[in-house]
Structure 1
């Protein structure tokens, strides 16, 4: 394997000159720069990026910490982050924390020790001192970290309100919200929107806490329908919960949407592929990942940011689990 000294010898220059070309620091004559680049190509030289990051205190690495990559929502976020980072010459290191604080802390230590230039984080823990005291840029994605840390999210409250009002307009008289985990900001905000709309309309409602998981949600929905068989509308905390609700209903012979209407949240591809296809509140998932990455790169390059919170709008997509008007 070729070394930097081999490149210097082939190009007829000093090691320091090769280093300046690689790191784009200092003045190097155009002819000399061309000779160095030619030598690099001929020798198929690969720079030692670890050594370069130690010298420059920069690695061109962005750490992306996500809580659960088995949830289809998060790979779509990751794809957007990777696409934008690549355009700007950064490499993304994906870390799946499983929602575990110790595992999250381990990844955080590894990323900072390897001089990651910045972090994009989706965590279940708000006001986490591990992030507040970092000396590298951090952007919170989907869930807030701290008021001092820039955040990119969707309008969870507005989406919850929109979904509930939609079910009521479609004739639902007793609605349930099978929500996501408690003390998780997106789940809390969607629930708040649900309660606001249901109370304003004077419609009886019931709330069940679940996880963003199909298996657990099937059990929760089954218990819900055992206890309250008159429920004719369910606002699910995300599309996975919506899938669970539809599965349970169909197994019981409950007609969708004639006897029970279901609406989800997220807009993951599964919601359109599942039968019957699921009416859902669509988050701009890819755009959220794009926005977070551009925001982080602005911070890394000291461009500054004009707003701490970027809340992107959601939209409702009608499919087969709700009634058509008229």
Structure 2
């Protein structure tokens, strides 16, 4: 055997793979649990509608939530929902087969949003905006029909950062995806339990679990998507400056309205000389000592199932 060939026995390699997978699973489980607890995403008696697209993120979301439910100190239901948008070549049997094997409640909602988008959007223009609005309306309606109290989406930490930069670059807003929000009519609550999870971890987990991934042929193949440009920018930063992504996400959790420029968030007009404002930072524009990101966790940090998630009970 040459020096360049591996000398690791198959059994040893298997043990290492198992160890790495268990560590990855615990990290994802911990991050999802922390997000649920921090934002009170799931309460006793909730019926959580998990939206499945057939992508790595939504598969991971469903898998981790099902796992967490096994040890949660409260009872809550999970129902999986997929929106079949009638895209040409969509493998209609994949998700029903997968969900049937899990033995959970699921519903496949059939709506020809693909045809609507193709009719309304000129060739060469991006379809994301209209497609997402159509999907959102259908999912809200479905949640009402099923009696779901929460709608769980598979957006993760990187999605939230990408949205932040998209809104800054193209929308002129300092706005991201919130981990938890209420619909405009107040009838639906949307949660994003993967808010603290890295996309890289989700990709590794999806490969290890061999989820039957279904590609989105409607939007995934569109050239020059603004989101893709921002994604590549963040990935480049992550490679060149390790830790920068974590620091940027931490900034979303450490907002100082008095050091921005929005008079709706802070009463700049009524600042008077000689007055001390409680809880407001002074004239330091840049913090010399960088904050440790709230959700930074060492890959080897310990976590056990005895550390139960602090779900809250509905009165």
Q: Same fold (TM over 0.5)?
A: no
- TM class, shorter-chain normalised? under 0.3
The TM-score normalised by the length of structure 2 is: 0.27
The TM-score normalised by the length of structure 1 is: 0.26
Q: RCO (CA 8 Å, sep 6+): is it higher in 1 or 2?
A: 2
Higher strand share: 1
